Amino acid sequence: MDVKIDEIDQDTRRKILQKVLEKNVSYDKLGISRTMVWYYKTGKYDIPSNVVEKLLKFLYT
């Protein structure tokens, strides 16, 4: 699957993050601290493309 990550808007990125967290993937496996996940979920910080790339790997496995 070829996804243009840079074209994914922040709202969709947050939905992807939520779906991955619903799969009970640990913060350690994601390589993201619990605090940063909260910042991403609340929109305080934008979710960068490299994090979305990691999330998509967990979403499709």
Mean pLDDT of the chain: 93
Task: Phi first, then psi: give them for residue 36, nearest 5 degrees.
Answer: -65, -35
The domain containing residue 14 runs over which residues?
7-59
Task: Phi first, then psi: give them for residue 45, nearest 5 degrees.
Answer: -125, 145
Q: Quick one: pLDDT at residue 61?
A: 73
Rg (alpha carbons) of the chain, rounded to whole number? 11
Would residue 48 count as lying in a domain? yes
How many structural domains are present in the chain? 1
Q: What is the pTM of this model?
A: 0.89
Would residue 18 count as lying in a domain? yes
Q: What CATH number does residue 35 fall under?
A: 1.10.260
pLDDT > 70? residue 22: yes
Would residue 2 count as lying in a domain? no
Would residue 23 count as lying in a domain? yes
Would residue 1 count as lying in a domain? no
